[in-house]
Structure 1
Amino acid sequence: MFGKKHEAHVIVLNDLDDGREAVRRALESASAEEVPGLQRALRILDESASAEDPKIRWTREVLAKAGIDPLEREVHAVREVRKELPGLSLVAAVDMVRALNADAKQRR
């Protein structure tokens, strides 16, 4: 309204706690045959919870698809992220690319 651009906000929800709790409760009353599968499911949920930040993963995938190295071409990376998600503010796009770069440097 009044000529202002609408800004897209990125919200990532990771609600695995309820799922993990449900599997833990199921384990309490599980039969011997069900226990190994439920334990495996719990391990998978625990690993998913500690996995990479979804915003970083998405940013990495977008830039890989575009063939842009965000460490070498940060400005191009920010532009590509904004192109992929119209309405994303410049500040948010810069934050996402810099978080990706920090993650990449930390993994080295």
Structure 2
Amino acid sequence: MFGNKETHLVALSDLDEAREAVRQALADASATDTPGLRAALSILDGFTGSDPRVRWVAKILEEQGIDPHTNEVAAIKALRDALPGLSLVAATALAREAKLAQTV
């Protein structure tokens, strides 16, 4: 009963802090640094609203070449292989969230 440890995927995001740091750097940037910092800010803004857990799942499935729409079982297995201790229930929920995110 107490020996079974389940791993939970907790995604932390520091995007707001990173975005603010780039904005501050942009305010003080030279003309040569400005284009690169604007590009960096644009990239960070592209992550707004996306769930880090779903991005992690998408990355794992893309690396494995697995489409969760056509092969949910393989997707679940790939997630559990990538994060040992991830429960079947949690892996299934993550795979299904990834499917929903792809259809939106």
Give the TM-score, by structure 1 length: 0.70
Distance 1:27 1:92, change over 3 A: same
| Distance change (3 Å), C-alpha of 1:101 and 1:38 | closer
Q: Given the two structures, how large is their TM-score scaled by the length of structure 2?
A: 0.72
Q: Give the structure 2 partner of residue 96 of structure 1.
A: 94
Contact kept in structure 2, 1:62 and 1:84, CA below 8 Å: yes
Larger of the two Rg values belongs to structure: 1
Q: Structure 1's 75 and 31: CA in aligned 2 closer, same or farther, altered over 3 A? A: closer
Aligned residues: 104
Match of 1:41 in 2: 40
The yes-or-no answer on 1:72 pairing with 2:73 is no
Q: Unaligned stretches of 5+ in structure 2?
A: none
Q: Distance in 2 between matches of 1:33 and 1:57?
A: 32
Q: Name structure 1 gaps, 5 residues minimum.
A: none
Cα distance in structure 2, aligned partners of 1:53 and 1:87: 21
Per-residue deviation, 1:88 = 0.5
Aligned residues: percent identity? Answer: 45
Please name the residue that 2:25 is paired with. Answer: 26
Once residues 103 and 38 of structure 1 are traced to their aligned partners in structure 2, the CA distance between those partners, rounded to angstroms, is 29
